[in-house]
Amino acid sequence: MYLCDELMTSELSMEVPVYCLDKCSEVTRRFFETYAHDADFVARSPGRVNIIGDHIDYCNFSVLPMAIDVEMLCAVRVLPHETSITLTNADPRFAQRQFDLPLEDSLGIDPATSDWSNYFKCGLLVAHKFLQAGSEPLHDVGMQVFCQGSVPTGGGLSSSAAFICATALATIRAHRGRDCVISKQDLTRITVDAEHYLGINNGGMDQCASVCGQRDHAMYVEFKPILKATPFPLPRGVQFVVSNTLVVSNKFETAPTNYNLRVVECTIAASIIAKRYGITLKGDRGPGDLRDVIDTYCDGLMPDLRSGLEGVDQGIARLATALDLVEETLGPKSKGYTTAEAADALGMSPAQFTTEYLTVFPVRFHTLQLYNRAKHVFSEALRVLLCLRLMTRPVTDTQRFLTTFGALMNESQSSCRDFCDCSCEETEQISQIALENGAYGSRLTGAGWGGCTISLCHGEESVLSVKKALHEQYYNKRFPHLSQRELEAAIIISKPEEGSALYEHCTAV
């Protein structure tokens, strides 16, 4: 957002790397046990945590995620001149699936049915469209696939995005052969909207972080004017404790009251602010309008974006102005809008309002929390820029850096709880335990409503202190019957990791 190209160097044009298949011995062994053949290759995409900047990517505001050391691996055997696709999951909860191509334009994706194969079909579908857009003939290619994931399902670490990105990469490799080349930019671009086929109106942060992750770097991900991911190094010794609340957050099943509703509320809030100040929004109404509103409004006040760090400061000033507009326009009804009140604010009848805003994605609500949602979006976007400004300046005092960065993470958690209403009791407890035992900052990550938290630590001592306290004060008390393996899986200690990759036989690399 607001940063000039002189400061930012995009990594999105880099090709997805290829490594030696020997690194994937377990998944290839299980593939052989399942299909009695060797896999041709493995496609990998990691999960991600968002360090800061949740529920703003679908409004086109920049975010600060990182890829982590959990992943989805898809071991694949290509079946030339066949149309059969067989999917096997290492997790026995997910039954084997088999289908034949073609299945019609949607590949048989049913948004009304929650089935793990839908995510594979989403990745398959966007990959097919990408190949066709490049004038490549879609010849018959079947696949046998063994999926092995270590990203907790429903944990808010983007298991769905990791699966879809790995699937899309695998599909393109299956069609293009061993000499497959695809840029990170293309893989990100085609997977960003994949979950829309499931009725989930997500932004693009998850896919971009999964594809473009870089070791020891946070990724500053921009969505306007173009999709761009730029790595920024974190100080030596920084680690993150990612803790699973074990409260499952299923975006698909809860979308009408949670995720999709937030998107709709942001869209309506943007429209009311735009009407109040005579701002004309371009194109179809969507959640990105909150970004458009403040950009359009401020273009007349501060039209010339400056270069370098001054550009960040100007972005901070714009967002401070945006928060003032929220108070003036939506503050008087901070308790919420009924459908009739929102329609009246836009000069519409309730029927017109319903058709315009409440029918694209299914939503359910008592009142529309427009003030709270807009306040969260603009203040969270502001915190991202404050973190970015911190990272782009020389770190002369590590302790001060950690304290300042941690405070911004804590403010983000408060906003997610009080204004986005996407936290929960378990998230609050884990965050508090982490802060009391050596973490500098702690907050939910991902969509919220359960899932995981992320806590900023420095050095092994603070990491071990936080982990020990969480075992004793949270997991042993709330989930006393967890096995040792389940307990270990509940906490991930990770630095930023690498993004998507292909693994081929060494002789061909």
For the sheet with 491-494, list strands across it.
Answer: 441-445, 452-458, 238-244, 491-494
Whole-angstrom distance, CA of residue 193 vs CA of residue 350 = 30
Q: Which of 40, 57, 206, 289 is catalytic?
A: 206
Q: Three-state secondary structure along 220-240?
A: EEECCCCCEEEEEECCCCEEE
User: Is 206 tagged catalytic?
Assistant: yes
Instruction: Decide if 237 contacts 82 (C-beta within 8 A).
Output: no
Q: Three-state secondary structure along 242-260?
A: EEECCCCCCHHHHCCCCHH
For 456, the 3-state DSSP assignment is: strand
For 89, the 3-state DSSP assignment is: strand
DSSP string, 457-471: EEHHHHHHHHHHHHI
* Pairing of β 97-100 and β 41-52: unpaired
Contacts of 55 (CB under 8 A, 6+ apart): 262, 376, 377, 380, 416, 420, 422, 447, 448
Instruction: Decide if 288 contacts 59 (C-beta within 8 A).
Output: yes
Whole-angstrom distance, CA of residue 248 vs CA of residue 420 = 18
Residues designated catalytic? 206
